[in-house]
Amino acid sequence: MHILVTGSNGQLGSELKELAPKYKEHSFVFTDIDELDITSKKAINSFFKSDKFDLLINCAAFTAVDKCETEKKAARRLNVLAVRNLAIACADNDMSIIHISTDYVYDGNHYMPYKESDFTNPESYYGITKLEGEEVVDEFAKNGVIIRTSWLYSSFGSNFVKTILKHANAKDELKVVYDQIGTPTYAHDLAVVILDNVKKLKNIDGIELFNFSNEGVSSWYDFAKEIVDIKGIDCIITPIETKDYPLPAARPKYSILNKSKIKEQLDSAIPYWKDSLKVCLNKL
C-alpha cells in the first residue's frame, strides 16, 4: 500500500517513520506542517491530486492540553477542522483513514476499564475537540479506524518521561500526583500495532473504534518513580493530590482502557508498561 502519514514530526509520527523501513511491502510519505497544511482544504486537495494514496494515518493534533484552554481557536482548527478536511478528502479519494484520539474523551468517573462503547464526557477543551474530531471522522470518512490511546510518551518529542528526567536531574525532590490513574503508552508499541495490522485496518467496513494502551495500571506518581528508579537518579518522588497541583485543564482521574476488542481483532502482543518504559529509557 501507499501510505500517507500526517503529523510525522510528533511522537507517534516519528516512531512510524523510524519503523517504516522494516515494512518494505508498503511505501510511505511523511508530512508535517512544512509539507502539508492540513487546515487548508486547497492544500489537501492539491496534495491528494499529486499522489494516489491507499491509506492515511493521521497523527497530527494540538496536544498541549493546558494551552487548549486558552488557545481554543488553534486547538479546534487542528483537532476538528483539519480532521474534517482529511476525512472528506479520504472519502473523495477512496482512501481509508487511521485517526488517533485520546482517553481525555472520558470524564474519569468510572470504576472499570473503559470500553469503546462507554459514555464519553470530556471535561477539558482538549478532550472536547478530540471527541469532535472522532465525530467528523465517523461522519465524513467512508472506512477506517479511530484509536484512543493514553499517556503517550516516546524518545521523540516532548512528554512526561523527558520532563521528569529533566527535573529529577536538577532537583532533590519532585511532587507528582498519585490520584490520577491510567496506563503509560510507549508510542513505539502503538506504531508497531498499526503497521503490523495496516491491511486489516484499511479493509474494515465503515468506521471502527479501538482502545490501545500498554498493559498494566499506574498513577502519575508511580510512573515518575519508575522513571527515576530505572535511571538510578537520586531524587525523591513525593505523592500529592490533584488539588495540590492545579492546572488549567481537567484531567480524567481514572482512564484505564479496556483493550479486549483490539486484542481479539488484531495480531500484535501488547507489552507491560514498565517493560516498554525500560526500552524507551535505554534510548535516552
Distances (CA, A) of 18 to 5, 75, 201, 259: 12, 27, 20, 25
Q: Which residue of the set 106, 126, 178, 186 is catalytic?
A: 126
Q: What is the rounded CA–CA span in Å between residue 190 and residue 100?
A: 10
Q: What is the rounded CA–CA span in Å between residue 114 and residue 186?
A: 19
- 126 has catalytic annotation: yes
- For residues 20 and 69, the answer to whether their CB atoms sit within 8 Å is no
Query: Between 125-140 and 82-92, two packed helices, what is the crossing angle to 10 degrees?
Result: 10
178 — phi, psi (to 5°)?
-110, -10
Ranges of beta strands (E only) in 44-169 are 55-58, 96-102, 144-149, 152-153
Q: What is the rounded CA–CA span in Å between residue 203 and residue 206?
A: 9
- For residues 206 and 146, the answer to whether their CB atoms sit within 8 Å is no
Q: What is the rounded CA–CA span in Å between residue 61 and residue 129?
A: 10
Residues with a known catalytic role? 126
